């Protein structure tokens, strides 16, 4: 039996956040052959469930969400659940709420929120992609309400309103310098995903392998960004795409053009 851990944004999903027929059919074939499919993403649970309502044919076996902060089985049974310290979270918010080229969002208590920071106020000239991302957030939270109570934060993200990778990289470095003792920070294109300390996609997958008593050689992983490196380091069966950043490409062992191509290679 083979286990495939698959990233979502930039990997399984197209730019319009849909899944191609090629990838859909490949996943169905992979499952029909008796293998297990794992969603491994920086996304929140709420976002994952919303997405897969449109794809009932994809029967995933596990979810590694929020970069490993939350691990669930297909029945939503919690395998692992971790949180960012609320004092650290408030420090992060204070560091970025006045930055005009950065937006902040987070997940707490199963809901995700976009912070009404200066980054939102300065998005009138931002790209269509960013405007659509902001529109997707149903829940907005004011700065006043943000600091009104302590919460259990499973996930925080900051992202460049101008899709500027350099801005995201500097934000990641600042987070690690100031809070590296209490969190993990991964750049995912122009997003910076923030997870509780010692949480990563790789560590989330380890918990699943231990639970099922599966050897790591039976694990395959595909992703397109730096929050996928922990998966690549876990298994020799690592896949990324021909067009990713060269630094990331040097870490993965195999290159493909799609998830479907990856699955075809696995099932040879």
Whether residues 203 and 78 share a domain: the answer is yes
Query: What pLDDT score was predicted for residue 97?
Result: 92
Decide if pLDDT at 68 tops 90: yes
Last residue of a domain, one of 134, 164, 196: 196
Rounded to an integer, the average pLDDT of 129-134 is 61
Last residue of a domain, one of 196, 230, 253: 196
Whether residues 165 and 146 share a domain: the answer is yes
Query: What pLDDT score was predicted for residue 258?
Result: 97
How confident is the model over 232-268, as pLDDT tens digits?
Answer: 999 999 999 999 999 999 999 999 999 999 999 999 8
Number of domains in the chain: 2
Per the CB < 8 A criterion, the answer to whether 63 and 155 are in contact is no
How confident is the model over 82-123, as pLDDT tens digits?
Answer: 999 999 999 999 999 999 889 999 988 777 888 988 777 655
How confident is the model over 71-84, as pLDDT tens digits?
Answer: 999 999 999 999 99
Whether residues 102 and 192 share a domain: the answer is yes
Whether residues 98 and 183 share a domain: the answer is yes
Determine how β-strand 183-188 pairs with β-strand 102-108: unpaired
Task: Report the SS3 class of residue 123.
Answer: coil
How confident is the model over 6-47, as pLDDT tens digits?
Answer: 999 999 999 889 999 999 999 999 999 999 999 999 888 888
Taking the C-alpha atoms of residue 260 and residue 86, their distance in angstroms, rounded to an integer, is: 40
Whether residues 13 and 34 share a domain: the answer is yes
Whether residues 212 and 225 share a domain: the answer is yes
Classify residue 220 as exposed, middle or buried by CB count within 10 Å of its CB (0-12, 13-18, 19+). Answer: buried
Confidence of residue 140 (pLDDT cuts 50, 70, 90): confident
Whether residues 46 and 116 share a domain: the answer is no
Query: What pLDDT score was predicted for residue 121?
Result: 64
Average pLDDT of the residues of the chain: 91
Picking from 112-116, 219-223, 224-228, 234-238, which range would have the lowest pLDDT averaged per residue?
Answer: 112-116
pTM of the model: 0.85
Question: Roughly how many angstroms between the first and final C-alpha of the chain, as a whole number?
Answer: 13
Whether residues 183 and 96 share a domain: the answer is yes
Query: What pLDDT score was predicted for residue 134?
Result: 64
We report the CATH number of the domain holding residue 209 as 3.40.50.1000
The domain in which residue 58 lies consists of 3-82+199-266
Last residue of a domain, one of 174, 196, 218: 196
We report the CATH number of the domain holding residue 147 as 3.30.1240.10
């Amino acid at each position: 039996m083979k286990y495939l851990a698959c990233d979502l944004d930039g990997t399984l999903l197209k730019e319009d956040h849909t899944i191609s027929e090629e990838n859909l059919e490949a996943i169905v074939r992979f499952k029909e052959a008796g293998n297990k499919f794992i969603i491994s993403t920086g996304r929140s649970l709420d976002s994952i469930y919303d997405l897969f309502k449109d794809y009932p044919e994809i029967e995933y076996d596990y979810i590694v969400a929020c970069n490993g902060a939350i691990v669930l089985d297909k029945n939503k049974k919690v395998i692992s659940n971790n949180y960012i310290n609320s004092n650290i979270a408030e420090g992060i918010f204070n560091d970025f709420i006045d930055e005009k080229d950065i937006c902040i969002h987070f997940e707490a208590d199963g809901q995700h929120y976009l912070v009404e920071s200066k980054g939102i106020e300065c998005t009138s000239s931002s790209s269509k992609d960013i405007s659509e991302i902001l529109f997707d957030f149903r829940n907005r939270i004011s700065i006043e309400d943000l600091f009104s109570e302590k919460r259990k934060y499973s996930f925080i993200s900051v992202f460049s309103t101008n899709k500027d990778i350099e801005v995201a990289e500097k934000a990641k470095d600042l987070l690690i310098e100031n809070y590296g003792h209490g969190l993990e920070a991964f750049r995912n294109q122009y997003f910076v995903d923030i997870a509780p300390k010692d949480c990563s996609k790789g560590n989330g997958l380890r918990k699943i392998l231990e639970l099922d008593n599966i050897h790591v050689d039976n694990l395959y992983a595909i992703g397109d960004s730096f929050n996928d490196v922990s998966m690549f380091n876990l298994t020799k069966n690592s896949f990324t795409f021909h067009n990713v950043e060269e630094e990331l490409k040097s870490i993965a062992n195999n290159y493909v053009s799609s998830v479907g191509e990856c699955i075809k290679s696995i099932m040879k």
